């Protein structure tokens, strides 16, 4: 079963020479699900050999620029690539106005339909179902309305039988927790995922700054992974102040040993 995470960007608000803003792609059976779309995402998609027209759905966490500014260019490129059919986009209600603005000025000649669904929930809620995966949204705690997303593999009857016979691995799962201060119920919403991505913008010594800006520290991300019983923790969304990655990731590993600091271009098989 193909359930592969590709990291497009690991920077926070300020892109730097070797880190792009937030974007990830989850590949499931040859279909792609784009999570956030910071500036430069198109170039990163090409470097990762991701087919633009095979992007089934886009999930935007919130409408801060470092998670969104790459979307207009991508939508335009999809039109030039001749995409047809539907493109599903999910995000906070305010994203709908952004998409209407884009279409009013740049939508001429688009041969595909943008199907936007506003996410509005205070609990874990199913928002998208395709052949191979179901996606649920959950609220995060940021300066503006912000959501995380959980991806759970959908099993065929044949796969279920193979699992029961010990001939196939269990269903795969992945959760993406973007910009957020700690959330009391978060660990229950991402309970048991194989891989948890959790932003860790700051090291523990910057906890006051993290709280002021509604972000998380290494320690807080690791605590969430431990409480959730996750299989692995991936952290990123680095402050430009982070230069000592060994000290940074060691803070996570002290609490949750199976932690890794992501870098642009990393690929993780889930």
Residues designated as active site? 66
Judge contact between 13 and 22, C-beta under 8 A: no
Please tell me whether residue 90 adopts helix, strand or coil conformation: strand
Find where tokens 């099993």 sit.
Answer: 155
Radius of gyration of the chain (CA): 18
How many CA atoms lie within 13 Å of 223's alpha carbon, on the beta-carbon side? Answer: 12
Please tell me whether residue 131 adopts helix, strand or coil conformation: coil
Among candidate residues 156, 135, 159, 157, the one with its CA nearest the CA of residue 147:
135
Find where tokens 């027209």 sit.
Answer: 53
Judge contact between 50 and 25, C-beta under 8 A: yes
Question: Residues 6 or more apart from 82 whose CB is under 8 A from it?
Answer: 53, 111
């Amino acid at each position: 079963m193909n359930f592969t995470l590709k990291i497009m960007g690991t920077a926070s608000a300020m892109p730097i020479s070797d880190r792009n803003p937030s974007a990830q792609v989850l590949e499931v059976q040859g279909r792609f699900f784009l999570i956030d779309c910071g500036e430069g995402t198109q170039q990163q998609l090409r470097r990762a050999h991701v087919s633009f027209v095979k992007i089934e759905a886009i999930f935007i966490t919130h409408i801060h620029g470092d998670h969104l500014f790459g979307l207009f260019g991508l939508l335009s490129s999809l039109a030039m690539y001749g995409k047809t059919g539907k493109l599903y986009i999910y995000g906070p209600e305010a994203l709908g106005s952004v998409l209407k603005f884009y279409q009013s000025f740049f939508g001429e000649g688009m041969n595909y339909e943008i199907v936007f669904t506003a996410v509005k929930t205070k609990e874990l809620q199913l928002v998208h179902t395709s052949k191979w995966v179901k996606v649920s949204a959950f609220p995060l705690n940021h300066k503006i309305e912000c959501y995380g997303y959980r991806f759970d593999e959908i099993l065929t009857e044949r796969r279920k039988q193979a699992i029961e016979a010990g001939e196939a691995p269990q269903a795969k799962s992945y959760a993406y927790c973007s910009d957020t201060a700690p959330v009391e119920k978060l660990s229950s919403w991402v309970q048991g995922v194989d891989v948890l991505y959790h932003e860790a913008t700051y090291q523990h010594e910057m906890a006051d700054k993290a709280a002021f800006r509604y972000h998380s520290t290494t320690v807080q991300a690791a605590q969430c992974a431990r409480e959730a019983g996750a299989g692995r923790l991936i952290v990123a969304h680095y402050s430009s102040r982070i230069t000592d990655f060994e000290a940074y990731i060691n803070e996570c590993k002290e609490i949750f040993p199976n932690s890794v600091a992501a870098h642009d271009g990393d690929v993780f098989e889930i």
